[in-house]
Amino acid sequence: MMKTKNILLTLIILMLTAFAALPLAAQNYVRNTLVIDTPTAYTITRGTYQVSVLGYDGGGMEVKTFIGIHDNIFLGVSFDIQHVIGKERADPNVPGVVAKLKLTDGWEYFPISIALGYDAFYIGEQGRVYSNETQPGERNYSDNELNRMIYGPYFVVTKPIYLLDDEQHVSFGMRVPAQPNYVPSDTSYFVSLDVPMGQYFMFKMEGERVYYNFSRPKEWLFNTGFRYSYMNMGVELAFLFQHNEPVHRIVRLEYRAEF
């Protein structure tokens, strides 16, 4: 418990330090719409589309695609199928809606992006965990027709910072469970940081599923990952850590282009 809180405190300190920093210089840098499992406030430009394929433990796969209908708005869908690879029976989850509206990019001397969005989070078994208010200490899995708890609406703030002649991004936000049941106690915070390492590589870290009253620390997730980008393509390897649970490994392939 103490170790978990120390990790969260470190992430919060990084976030606050970043928001206090003033921009110095910017390089040409692709701003990602997603860190690992949490969103940023950035969108894609009008007439651009993005497709990603995510593979996770147990042979699961999620395909997500969206289109920029405005420089500040994109819309799309996601499809998640558990055990699509392997001997077990494939188990599709309900398709999810993907949408984001960027409200502002801030001011010249204090660039800060703010966005509202909707997305389905927590793939596979991670996406089926929900709280049972009659048994708050128990770990429960959704057994409804949707086969998952969908964390749909979210609010996110992203601040670019400029250290060592590169652009990094710190994001924090909140998301709310939408379907199949609205459970106020499952409203959660997230915080993230991405750090480029040269022209092609990027290191990412984030904390998520931190509940609004900072309770249930054993369910918090702390994720790290690496991204390799070349031209319009990106490849990511990430690890999701949870207290007393096996490490959850994911691989994502991403492609972005214009019509």
Rounded Cα–Cα distance for residues 170 and 155 (Å): 14
Rounded Cα–Cα distance for residues 56 and 129 (Å): 16
Q: What is the DSSP string of 86-140?
A: SSSPPEEPPPEEEEEEEEEEEETTEEEEEEEEE---S-GGGGGEE--TTSTTS-E
**224 near 204, Cβ under 8 Å?**
yes
Q: pLDDT grade, residue 131 (50/70/90)?
A: low
Q: What CATH class has 2-258?
A: mainly beta
Rounded Cα–Cα distance for residues 34 and 62 (Å): 14
pTM of the model: 0.78
**170 near 14, Cβ under 8 Å?**
yes
Q: Which range is most confident: 26-35, 145-154, 175-184, 247-256?
A: 247-256
| pLDDT over threshold 70, residue 20 | no
Look at residue 88 and give its three-state secondary structure.
coil
The mean of the pLDDT values for the chain is 79
- The alpha carbons of the chain give a radius of gyration, in whole angstroms, of 18
| pLDDT over threshold 70, residue 141 | no
| pLDDT over threshold 70, residue 36 | yes
